Chain A
Amino acid sequence: QQQVKQSPQSLIVQKGGISIINCAYENTAFDYFPWYQQFPGKGPALLIAIRPDVSEKKEGRFTISFNKSAKQFSLHIMDSQPGDSATYFCAAGSAYKLTFGTGTQLKVEL
């Protein structure tokens, strides 16, 4: 049973544009929501994370928006760059275990 649903599966954005990736979760016990970035052949790297007591968190060009009542959260990448081309995973955590979404392949074109 997939507990974290992620969309879209793939995304193409022009350089300078905004990339938006959405996730939805089911388990209300989740209390930690990180986003990871993964390049081919590498392990996932933490990008930004949020807890359910805030509705938005911004770090540089990356922003997480969190809607607790809808059980949804999203990643916004502002001023997308070709170097942002990677696979992005949302995840939801409780205590210690992370449940990941299926990933979004982002391609930023010149």
Chain B
Amino acid sequence: DTGVSQNPRHKITKRGQNVTFRCDPISEHNRLYWYRQTLGQGPEFLTYFQNEAQLEKSRLLSDRFSAERPKGSFSTLEIQRTEQGDSAMYLCASSLDSRQETQYFGPGTRLLVL
């Protein structure tokens, strides 16, 4: 399977703990995106990478959130001091260059903060 992969698929954590999610984009896709989706809502943009450079961060991404994409390949999203409001599906997507806006989504990581 050469699609976008995300790990873990599910994560249950206690409030105040740190969690980290990984996204492996489609090979050769140089753009990578993170979105958050809550129940009954559409995905909301969090951040975006062009290769290893993080080019935009949404206001939704508080200072407890950090994303990296070392070497322009896989990406990680870390949430520090998790809160119950962080419970959501975290989706990763990737795409080719700027003329190809088609974003291919991974299966997501569902986070539950107790």
- Chain A interface residues toward B at CB < 8 A: 4, 6, 32, 34, 36, 41-46, 49, 89, 91, 93, 95-103
Contact B42 A101 (CB under 8 A): yes
State how many angstroms separate the Cβ of A71 from the closest Cβ of chain B: 18
Total A-B pairs, Cβ < 8 A: 59
User: Is B67 part of the binding interface, using a Cβ–Cβ cutoff of 8 Å?
Assistant: no
Q: Answer whether A43 and B48 are a contact pair too, CB < 8 Å, given A95-B98, A96-B98.
A: no
What B residues does A34 contact at CB under 8 A?
Answer: 101-103
User: Is B31 part of the binding interface, using a Cβ–Cβ cutoff of 8 Å?
Assistant: yes
- Chain B interface residues toward A at CB < 8 A: 4, 31, 33, 40-45, 48, 55-56, 91, 93, 95, 98, 101-108
Q: Answer whether A96 and B104 are a contact pair too, CB < 8 Å, given A44-B43, A103-B40, A103-B42.
A: no
Rounded to whole angstroms, the CA-CA distance of A41 and B98 in the bound complex is 29
What A residues does B40 contact at CB under 8 A?
Answer: 102-103
Q: Chain B residue with minimal CB distance to A93?
A: B101
Rounded to whole angstroms, the CA-CA distance of A49 and B95 in the bound complex is 14
Rounded to whole angstroms, the CA-CA distance of A4 and B42 in the bound complex is 10
